[in-house]
Every structure is written in C-alpha cells, then in structure tokens.
C-alpha cells in the first residue's frame, strides 16, 4: 500500500478557523484530515442519525450538545458526514463560534449550499474547501511509475490492486465497486442513480466526448429529450464525476470535451460499455482507456507546470494541447516509446496544425531529441517542480 503525500495536506492544515472539507466519497477526506490536522475529538453522523464518538453511539441531540460544549472549551472537533445533519442543529453549533475549531467533512457536493446560502447560520463562519482525487504529480512523486500513479489517483484502490494488471484480471469486481461509489454519490445528493445518468457515464467512457455525440447515442438506445443532456452533464460535473476540457477548433465559441474524473472509473466503465463485463468476464482489452487517461493526466500535469490550460483538438490527432489566453502555444505527442520516424512525423503534424512549439513525451523511454522532448526522468523533475511551486 502506498501512502501518497498530497498537497492538500498542507492546504487543509493552513486553513484558518472553521472549515468545510467536501467532495465525492472515497477521495480520502477523512484519512487526510485526521493525518494532517491536530484535532481533539472526532465525531461521525451515522445513516440512522446517531452520533458515533470513539466506541459510543449517542443520540443526535446529545452528540451535538457535546460538540457545542467542546467548541466552547476551545477544542478542535472533526464532524464527519456533515450533510446528514438536520438543519435545526446548525443554529446550535453556530452559537459556539468563534471558539474552538470546527472541521466539517461532507461527501455530498450539494452541501456547499448549506454553508453559503443567504439564510444559513454558517454563512461567513465556515470556509469551504473542495477535495478531489489525487493530483497526478503528487502520485508520481510517491510511486515513481506513471501508470501506477494514474491508478492510485483514487486512494481507495491501493487496498485492492497493485497495478493495472489486477484490474485487467478482474474488471467486473472493480466495475461493481465504482458503480457502488456512484450510487452513494446520488444517494447523498438525494437523487437516484437513474438509467439515464449511468448511460451517459458509459457513453463518455467509450469515447463519446461531446454533448451532441452523447445525445445522439442516447436517442438511439432510450427515450430521452436531447435538450436535457447538457443539464445532465452539468449535474455530473458538479458532482465531481466528470471533468470538462476546453475544445480548440481555431475559432470562437465554447465547446467541451467530457471525460470521467476518475481514471479507474473511466477504465472499468469502458470495459462495461465495450464488453458488458457485468454479464460475465471474458477477455478484455483496456489499452485504449488506459492510454487515454495517461495522456490526459500528463496533459493536466504539464498544464499546471506551464501555468496553462489543457485543451483538446478534434482535428490533427494531437494528444496534449496547452492553451494560453484561449490559443495553443505548445503541444505534445505522448507514447510509451517512439521510433525516430514516429517522433519526426508527430512533430511535423503538430507544427502543420499551426502550433508554434511541439514536443514528445516518452512515458517509459526517452523520446527522440527535440526542443521540448520529455522522458521518464523529466516527468519526475516536472512533478518535483510543481510540488515546489505549490508549497
């Protein structure tokens, strides 16, 4: 099991006063806060609305009164699964402010409204902080292997797999785990995991990357209003299940490339969409989704390194395009290994597309020499440079 050093540790530690740490389930919120913050007491609100403290299970009102008292005595208190707390107890807790330090943890992304809406008793008292999966550069520094770093961006996976071969051997089990995680997200958001939302995630995982493609595929399979697809995508984005990458076509206008936020989720949902692994496990080829995810992970890291924005170009088959002020300034071809001829063709293709700088990223071996070539050692140096920059 890898214990990945995450930049969020320092960020959470340096937050002042009362705070809310929120994000999708199983991204490591509880583990990281307990590890990185000096605290006195930890409380968990159960699904049955009791309060669990150490080995005790307390009635909700008693637990809230105890937390209020601890805060008034200047203690630092963690309250986990805060989104389950009924509204009437917010006023009770707010009376302790500014004494003590209250750290709220929540698995519902909609919980942010409970602390920032105009009639919330927590408005102005609590600083919200959103936590996602592990940054690729943080994982790469810890595990020293790009493909393992990609896999371990979801911290829960370290308990169940050591590399992607474990996923290839048993994709069905990992699919069910991820489907269960998504179901919990919808449950906490007071929504059902409808057939429509799951169908959208499956289409995205198989390469349907924009709303028009997704809408067309859904219409061919199920009765769906195409005008609602954009709102469904917005919901999935806000829930932290998908990400958006800006599409560059050379002109004006906004268009987005959609992908699943989690690499392991993207890969096993692809396996379900392509091979129907839920109906039985046969031979599966996961080369395409893993290659796509490593490409975007490296792109995100390079965008952070260059203080740029990751883009996508449908034309030209270019792996990584980095934008500044909405225009590309550098692009990369990403492969495990390059021959000299492959590297030359890739650089020419990028330059012919009108991008001023072109480079090669060799994931496992040094690529052919170019002005912006990046090999395995350089990837590690870039990850180190990002860590120094964000300190």
Domains of the chain with CATH codes: 8-130 (3.40.50.300), 161-289 (1.10.10.10), 294-390 (3.40.1350.10)
Least confident of 12-26, 240-254, 360-374: 240-254
Mean per-residue pLDDT over the chain, rounded: 91
Percentages helix, strand, coil for the chain (3-state, rounded to 5) are: 50, 20, 35
* Mean pLDDT calculated for residue range 242-250: 88
Nearest to 338 by CA among 320, 359, 308, 324: 359
* Mean pLDDT calculated for residue range 115-125: 88
**H or E element: which one contains 104?**
strand 101-106
- Say whether pTM exceeds 0.85: yes
* Whether the predicted pLDDT of 192 surpasses 60: no
* Whether the predicted pLDDT of 272 surpasses 70: yes
From CA 122, how far away is CA 118, in angstroms rounded? 9
CB 196 within 8 A of CB 222: yes
pLDDT in tens, 85-112: 998 999 999 999 999 999 999 987 778 8
Residue 253's pLDDT band (cuts 50, 70, 90): low
Least confident of 41-45, 271-275, 312-316, 345-349: 312-316
């Amino acid at each position: 099991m890898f214990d990945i050093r995450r930049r969020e540790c320092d960020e959470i530690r340096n937050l002042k006063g009362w705070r809310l740490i929120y994000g999708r389930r199983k991204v490591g919120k509880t583990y990281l806060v307990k590890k990185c913050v000096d605290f006195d007491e930890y409380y968990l609100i159960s699904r049955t609305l009791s309060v669990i403290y150490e080995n005790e299970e307390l009635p909700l009102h008693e637990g809230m009164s105890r937390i209020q008292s601890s805060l008034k005595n200047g203690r630092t208190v963690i309250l986990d699964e805060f989104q389950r707390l009924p509204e009437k107890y917010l006023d009770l807790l707010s009376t302790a402010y500014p004494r003590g330090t209250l750290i709220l943890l929540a698995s519902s992304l909609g919980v942010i409204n409970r602390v920032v809406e105009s009639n919330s008793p927590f408005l102005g008292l609590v600083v919200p902080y959103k936590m996602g999966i592990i940054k690729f550069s943080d994982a790469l520094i810890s595990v020293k292997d790009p493909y393992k770093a990609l896999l371990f961006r979801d911290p829960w996976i370290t308990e169940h797999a050591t590399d992607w071969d474990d996923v290839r051997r048993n994709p069905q089990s990992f699919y069910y785990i991820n489907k269960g995680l998504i179901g919990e997200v919808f449950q906490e958001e007071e929504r059902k995991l409808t057939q429509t939302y799951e169908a959208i995630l499956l289409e995205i995982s198989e390469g349907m990357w924009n709303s028009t493609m997704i809408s067309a595929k859904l219409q061919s399979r199920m009765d769906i209003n195409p005008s609602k697809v954009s709102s469904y995508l917005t919901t999935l984005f806000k829930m932290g299940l998908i990400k958006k990458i800006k599409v560059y076509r050379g002109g004006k206008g906004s268009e987005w490339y959609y992908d699943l936020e989690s690499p392991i989720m993207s890969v096993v949902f692809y396996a379900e969409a392509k091979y129907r692994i839920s109906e039985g496990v046969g031979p599966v080829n996961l080369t395409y989704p893993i290659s796509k995810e490593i490409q975007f992970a490296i792109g995100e890291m390079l965008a952070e390194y260059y203080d740029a924005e990751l883009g996508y170009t449908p034309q030209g088959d270019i792996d990584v395009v980095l934008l500044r002020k909405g225009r590309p300034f550098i692009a990369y071809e990403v492969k495990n290994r390059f021959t000299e001829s492959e590297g030359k063709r890739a650089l020419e293709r990028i330059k012919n597309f009108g991008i001023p700088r072109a480079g090669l990223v060799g994931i496992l071996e040094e690529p052919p020499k170019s002005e912006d070539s990046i090999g395995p050692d350089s990837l590690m140096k870039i990850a180190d440079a990002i860590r120094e920059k964000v300190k």
